Amino acid sequence: MKEELLSKQIGGKNCYIYDRGASDVLLIQPVDDHDIEVLDSEVAEISRLVGIGFTLAAFKVDDWNADLSPWEAPPVFGSEGFAGGAEETLKYVTEQLIPELTGGKDGLTVSKSVPRIFIGGYSLAGFFALWAAYQTDLFKGVAAASPSVWFPGWIEYAESNVIKTDKVYLSLGDKEEKARNPVMRTVGDNIRKLYELLIADPACGKCILETNRGNHFKEPDIRTAKGFAWLLND
């Protein structure tokens, strides 16, 4: 299948749009500079794993800690805290990015009708994708690869709220909960607790928790691709 890449600005953000021949499947992913470097590899792996076409739209996040965090929190590592800008980022996705992509512009094959829209990402972007699915029922599934579920207050939030999508993919590296940082070490217990909450939630029809080999920095492109592929193959 021929791969077509379009780079453009949408709503003031740099976007990287891969057209893999689908009219009704749209994957949304927040990315940073490192993610952008391996997007070609991620898209190739999704294509290898699935039997249908898709369009992936990755948008560059301006400030990772600020734009993907759902509420303010103190620094967990380094000196930079979390500003709680996820609401504005989700507003960008729902009010600017998706309408632009589904408007049939620039020769994209995304249908003008509402397509099947999935959201996902790696690390804090995967965490943002999870949180977003608690805010809106727009997304048909979530691919949260090594998500930052160590985030302060997250498990308490998940315990008292209901997710609004019926398919959730979770994954974690088998060395991630062995980190030196005491907050980040909670990621293993927290993701297992989240998985238990989701499989017990009648609103969530299907959920999987997959373990990958390695620490947090190993093969983020392949891990994210596996998450999107699981959603598309289901």
Q: Which domains does the chain possess?
A: 4-233 (3.40.50.1820)
β-strands 72-73, 55-60: how paired? unpaired
Closest CA relative to residue 187, chosen from 167, 171, 169: 171
pLDDT for res 91: 96
CA–CA separation, 175 and 165 (whole Å): 29
- In the chain, the amino acid numbered 168 is V
Supply the pTM of this predicted model: 0.93
**pLDDT tens-place string over residues 13-22:** 999 999 888 7
> Which residues in the chain show pLDDT less than 70?
1-3, 23, 104-114
pLDDT for res 52: 87
Express the helix, strand and coil content of the chain in percent, nearest 5 each.
40, 25, 35
Secondary structure E strands in the chain? 4-10, 13-19, 25-31, 55-60, 72-73, 82-83, 116-122, 141-145, 167-173, 206-212
Closest CA relative to residue 228, chosen from 38, 71, 26: 26
